[in-house]
Amino acid sequence: MSELDTQSDRSPRDEWLIDSLTRQVAVMEAMAGVARTGPPGSAGDEVAHCLAWRGVQRQAGRFGRNLEARLRGRLAPRWEQELAGHHRVLAAYREEADEALTGADPKVVVEAEGRLGLRVAVIGKGGAGKSMISGTLSRLLARRGHRVLAADLDTNPGLAFSLGVSPTAGGLPPDAVEAHAGAAYGWRLRTGLSPAQAVDRLALTAPDGARFLALGKIDDADKTAPKQTLVALLEILLGFGDPAWDVVGDLEAGPTTPFERYHAFADRVMVVVGPAWRSAMTARRLLPLVADVPTLVVANRFRDEPDHPGLAPAVRIPDDAAVARAERLGLAPLDECPDSPAIAAVRELADLLTGGGNGHDHHHSDHDHSDHDQREVPV
């Protein structure tokens, strides 16, 4: 018998967990419903149909990875039956997607895979250049016809500048969240607002058609908006499963965010490293914390310095005076110096991520995750 079987036994944290799992099932059922009937306007489009099932498959895997992290948490024994039941539900959705894709034309499945959107989390030491890379990459992908969501999980508005939008725009509004005693920091995404609805209604349109969503902004009346909206934004990113969209998340600097698994939405983590040894030290600390997904290292602001030992970069972005000047002025480098060497290197990065180039992926499957005392996942 579960410890949570009666209402009187449930703490606010228990209620939050049960509701979080219920919300995940709602996301899965909505996506599976689209896949079963075919996306709107896609009658006869087998690729769109397969892409929808591929999205279901991937979303079940993403929620499953998040579930595995919960199973290592301190409250896992208390939630054992609920988590095990949720694992079975996710497995059922994945099996349904597997069956649909197995029965489809292999050529159609391959084409659908090519349309599957990217999910990239960008991490690194403060000042490494994460925001410039994230913002420029997002706009370059949008220029190629991708539907892109650029998400800023940093309270410093670096991504907004790199995208070319106002640093006071794009934050989650207060009415997108609600108080809940069991949620991290005491807040969560408002009941009745799904991740897909949040992106559709709240994401700002940036230059080149990319969409931008950020933490709530600090104002004179309320200094707590970023913390209040953090869990909500994480829930949006984790649950936004539309397979046709790319998502690029600019995470707060340092090891705290990956330690708390803010990268849980991503299928790949990009670790940005600068030429300084401190930047390399941070990268080495970060890599084991994100070892459950493929990673790649991007070297930024390098001149003729050699690669850091053990951190072979997929792409080297050169130190670029024009980009530095644009950043000093608070302007988007892609607008100010579109033909500069650094921007050319970010184009190379976009090629790599979309299958147009070769690079060094760092798969850390040999790490024992139990060795890392990760905090309980906030969402």
Per-residue pLDDT of the chain (379 residues; tens, 9 = 90+): 455 555 557 899 899 999 999 999 999 999 999 999 988 877 779 999 999 999 999 999 999 998 887 777 776 788 889 999 999 999 999 999 999 999 999 999 999 999 999 999 999 999 999 999 999 999 999 999 999 999 999 877 799 999 999 988 878 998 999 999 998 889 999 999 999 999 999 999 999 999 999 998 655 455 666 778 999 999 999 999 999 999 999 999 988 888 888 999 999 999 999 999 999 999 999 999 999 999 999 999 999 989 999 999 999 999 999 999 999 999 999 999 999 999 999 999 999 999 864 333 343 333 333 334 444 445 5
φ, ψ (nearest 5 deg) of residue 250: -95, 105
Which residue ranges make up each domain of the chain? 7-112, 117-371
pTM for the structure as a whole: 0.90
Domain 117-371 belongs to what architecture?
3-Layer(aba) Sandwich (3.40)
Tokens linked to 36: 């079963």
Separation between Cα atoms, residue 221 and residue 227, nearest integer Å: 15
Q: What's the confidence (pLDDT) of residue 356? A: 65
CA angle (67, 54, 190) in 5-degree steps: 50
Token pair listed for 185: 């920091």
Q: Is the Cβ–Cβ distance between 129 and 272 less than 8 Å? A: yes
Q: What angle do CA 28, 147, 92 make, to 5 degrees?
A: 15
